Copies of this chain bind each other. A is one copy, B any other.
């Protein structure tokens, strides 16, 4: 990888820490008049993979409306390494990179069918109390689920 990306210190290590991924077919409506997938779709893929990871870890995402706290996006970034085209199936990898008291840093990697990195990204999610709109600590149970997911990376 020739490109310098601030949130990746060692690309190989960073790459190897991913294990959870969601395969997605590129949709025609996600292309733009330049003939490739429009940049805004990267964040649709990231969000979908993030919510499936959270569900996989045991966070209920189906009854989000009846919950006390919701995961809100605090920041997001994406590096576009390679164009993605209609007809491709991509694998959207996602991992919990860092766990704070009321927030987590999530990283993303999108590979095409040739296993070439097309997108990398990261973003912080904050746990927001639905009544106050303020950040609120994860429960101990939630923290354990998050830590367990991180341990899985490291022992891979």
Q: Give A contacts to B, CB under 8 Å.
A: 6, 25, 27-29, 31-36, 38-40, 42-44, 47-48, 51, 55, 61-62, 64-65, 70, 72-80, 85-87
Note all chain B residues with C-beta closer than 8 A to A38: 28-29, 47
Are B32 and A32 touching (Cβ within 8 A)? yes
Checking B33, B42, B75 against A32 with a beta-carbon cut-off of 8 angstroms, the contacting residue is B33
Note all chain B residues with C-beta closer than 8 A to A70: 34
A47 to B31, CA, bound (A): 13
Are A35 and B65 touching (Cβ within 8 A)? yes
Q: How many copies does the complex hold?
A: 4
Q: How far is the CB of A93 from chain B (nearest CB, A)?
A: 17
Are A40 and B47 touching (Cβ within 8 A)? yes
Residue of B nearest to A119 (CB): B75
Note all chain B residues with C-beta closer than 8 A to A27: 44, 47-48
Known: A29-B48, A76-B80. 15 other contacts (CB 8 A): A25-B48, A27-B48, A29-B44, A29-B47, A31-B32, A38-B47, A39-B43, A39-B47, A40-B40, A42-B43, A55-B87, A62-B85, A62-B86, A74-B80, A76-B78
